[in-house]
């Protein structure tokens, strides 16, 4: 389809996955279920780390921040898609699209950086256990999270400001279920050379740097674990970082899968199903990963639900 003339744009069209009514109903129920599971699961993680004093440690402080970001990451994309399916509309305003793009970049960046910080936390815990509480003090933990926020905000702001300089030609159709940076740039009629430069030379080094930090931390962790003489000690040391390692692998493997899918196929529409993996599936699985493999989280959950059950029982007795 040929592009139309450069016009004043007021809205984009999010094409989503399919126009078939039967498939749309399935997609609606599937994404609604995943959204509810993600929000509830991550809220429980945040609630557990706040209310249980046993979880007031650096590892769970970073985990609560990760869960907080995952809630917002899925909330800026999926509800709009569900609303469009329900109303049989594909439109999103120009301002709404840029806002969605900005916050998506912000919280994806936060996930990336927080996973790196959590890898550093595990590195200190395993390689320098005697100095862990001194090194990972509350001031350093707060500073690390603050730096993650600052870098993510500045990066998202830079990319968004670069998009504002672009002009667009009809049709304003985005073959995706949310406003993704690369898809929006491809719709532009104006020169996008500087946008591509900023996108790759600002975004790629941040992602590669984060991944390098994770790999370096785990290389040191593996070396320390190998130096432990007893099998029980090795197993205990590995168990402290198993959940985080699984979460990191899931995030980076799905992100890399999206990049390779869009690069190899050269199809804009092919990246939409692949993007579901790290925008929806990964935030949904993170609470399950940390709760199923973590005894402290399980105990905190039992305390939360146990206390709620006791309150309900007490209220019923009073009513009688």
Please determine, for residue 2, whether its predicted confidence score (pLDDT) is greater than 50. no
Q: Is there a contact between 85 and 23 (Cβ–Cβ < 8 Å)?
A: no
Question: Which residue in the block uniquely carries the two structure tokens 């890399």?
Answer: 256
Which helix (H) or strand (E) segment holds residue 157: the answer is: helix 138-164
For 310, the token pair is: 């006791």
Q: Is the pLDDT of residue 153 over 60?
A: yes
Indicate whether 309 pLDDT > 60.
no
Note the pLDDT of residue 1: 43
* Interval 206-227 mean pLDDT: 90
Length of the chain: 320
Is pLDDT larger for residue 249 or for residue 5? 249
- Write b or e for each residue in 278-308: b if 16 or more Cβ atoms lie within 10 A of its Cβ, otherwise e: bbbbbbbbbbebbbeebebbeebbeeeeeee
When pLDDT is averaged across residues 215-235 and rounded to a whole number, the result is 86
Q: How far is CA 242 from CA 185, 237, 245, 267, 273, in A?
A: 38, 9, 5, 36, 28
Say which residue, 221 or 294, is predicted with more confidence: 221
Residue 264 has a pLDDT of 58
pLDDT at 299: 78
DSSP string for residues in 199-234: HHHHHHHHHHHHHHHHHHHHHHHHHHHHH--SHHHH
Residue 269 confidence (pLDDT): 56
pLDDT number for residue 3: 52
Could you tell me the pLDDT band of residue 200, with boundaries at 50, 70 and 90? Answer: confident
Phi, psi of 258 (to 5 degrees): -65, -45
Q: What is the pLDDT of residue 191?
A: 86
Question: What is the arithmetic mean of pLDDT over 175-198?
Answer: 88
170-196: average pLDDT: 87
Residue 136, helix vs strand vs coil: coil
DSSP 70-94: HHHHHHTTHHHHHHHHHHT--EEEH
Sheet arrangement for strand 91-93: 91-93, 11-14, 173-174
16 neighbors 199 (Cβ within 8 angstroms): no
Local confidence band at 310 (pLDDT 50, 70, 90 cut-offs): very low
For the stretch 58-88, pLDDT in tens is 999 999 999 999 999 999 999 999 999 998 8
Task: Report pLDDT digits (tens) over 249-296.
Answer: 888 887 777 766 665 555 555 567 778 887 898 899 888 888 766 777
Q: Is 102 exposed, middle or buried (0-12, 13-18, 19+ CB in 10 A)?
A: buried
Query: What is the model's pLDDT at position 37?
Result: 94
What rounded mean pLDDT belongs to the chain?
85
Q: Model's pTM, two decimal places?
A: 0.88
- Structural tokens at position 24: 């749309």
pLDDT, mean of residues 142-152: 97
Higher pLDDT, 208 or 315: 208
The two three-digit tokens of residue 306, written as one number:
């146990």
What domains sit in the chain, N to C, each tagged with a CATH number?
A: 11-319 (1.20.1070.10)
Encode pLDDT of 234-250 as tens digits: 787 777 788 888 888 88
Query: What's residue 52's pLDDT?
Result: 84
């Amino acid at each position: 389809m040929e592009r139309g003339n450069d016009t004043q744009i007021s809205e984009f069209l999010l094409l989503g996955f399919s126009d078939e009514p039967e498939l749309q109903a399935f997609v609606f129920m599937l994404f609604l279920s995943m959204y509810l599971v993600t929000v509830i699961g991550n809220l429980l993680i945040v609630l557990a780390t706040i209310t249980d004093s046993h979880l007031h440690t650096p590892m769970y402080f970073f985990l609560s921040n990760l869960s907080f970001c995952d809630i917002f990451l899925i909330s800026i994309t999926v509800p709009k898609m569900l609303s469009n399916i329900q109303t049989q509309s594909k439109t999103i305003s120009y301002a709404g699209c840029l806002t969605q793009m900005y916050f998506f970049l912000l919280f994806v960046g936060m996930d990336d950086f927080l996973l790196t910080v959590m890898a550093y936390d595990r590195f200190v815990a395993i390689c320098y256990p005697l100095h862990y509480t001194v090194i990972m003090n509350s001031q350093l933990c707060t500073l690390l999270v603050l730096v993650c926020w600052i870098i993510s905000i500045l990066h998202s702001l830079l990319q968004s400001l670069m998009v504002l300089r672009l002009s667009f030609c009809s049709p304003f159709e985005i073959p995706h279920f949310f406003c993704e940076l690369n898809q929006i740039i491809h719709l532009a009629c104006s020169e996008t050379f500087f946008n591509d430069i900023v996108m790759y030379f600002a975004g790629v080094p941040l992602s590669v740097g984060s991944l390098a930090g994770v790999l370096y931390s785990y290389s040191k962790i593996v070396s320390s674990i190998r130096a432990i003489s007893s099998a029980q000690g090795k197993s205990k040391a590995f168990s402290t970082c198993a959940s985080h390692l699984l979460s990191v692998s899931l995030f980076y493997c799905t992100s890399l899968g999206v990049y390779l899918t869009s690069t190899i196929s050269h199809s804009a529409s092919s990246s939409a199903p692949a993007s579901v993996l790290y925008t929806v599936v990964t935030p949904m699985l993170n609470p399950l990963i940390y709760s199923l493999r973590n005894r402290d989280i399980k105990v905190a959950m039992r305390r939360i639900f146990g206390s709620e059950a006791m309150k309900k029982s007490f209220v019923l007795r009073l009513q009688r």
